[in-house]
Amino acid sequence: MSSSNSVTVQILDKEYSIICPQEERSNLVSAARYLDGKMREIRSTGKVIGADRIAVMAALNITHDLLHRQERPDVQASATTREQVRDLLERVDLVLASDSDASKADS
């Protein structure tokens, strides 16, 4: 991908570098900000401890919101949104997995 760049986003005070096509950069940054906000909301309740658990709860909340929005008649837009959310969740999973592997290597 010759038009790809690495984008650094910050989620829960951690930096993540993600390879992203230039034309998707602003969407990725917006998604990261949204996710960071959701994760901070969950963390602030004090009911969920640990970044992995907070990330899962945020993903569930975001997915729940998305599924309720899909009930609207605009099917094509919701299918596109669903694909974008799926892609972002895969990216988050990859970053969390690599972060977990790095933490284990440091031990």
Position 106 scores a pLDDT of 63
Residue 4 CB partners (closer than 8 Å, separation 6+) = 19, 20, 21, 22
Position 2 scores a pLDDT of 43
- Tell me phi and psi for residue 83, to 5 degrees: -65, -40
Q: Where are the alpha helices (DSSP H) in 7-50?
A: 25-45
**pTM of the predicted structure, to 2 decimals:** 0.61
Strands of 4-99 (E only): list them.
Answer: 4-11, 14-21
Domains, the chain, with CATH or none:
4-102 (3.30.160.880)
Residue 15 CB partners (closer than 8 Å, separation 6+) = 8, 9
Instruction: Say whether pLDDT at 44 is over 50.
Output: yes
- Measured CA to CA, the distance from residue 27 to residue 74 in angstroms comes to 20
50: alpha, beta or left? (left if phi > 0; alpha if psi -120 to 50):
left
What's the mean per-residue pLDDT of the chain? 83
Q: What is the pLDDT of residues 63-107, one digit of tens each?
A: 988 888 777 656 566 677 788 888 888 888 888 877 767 666 665
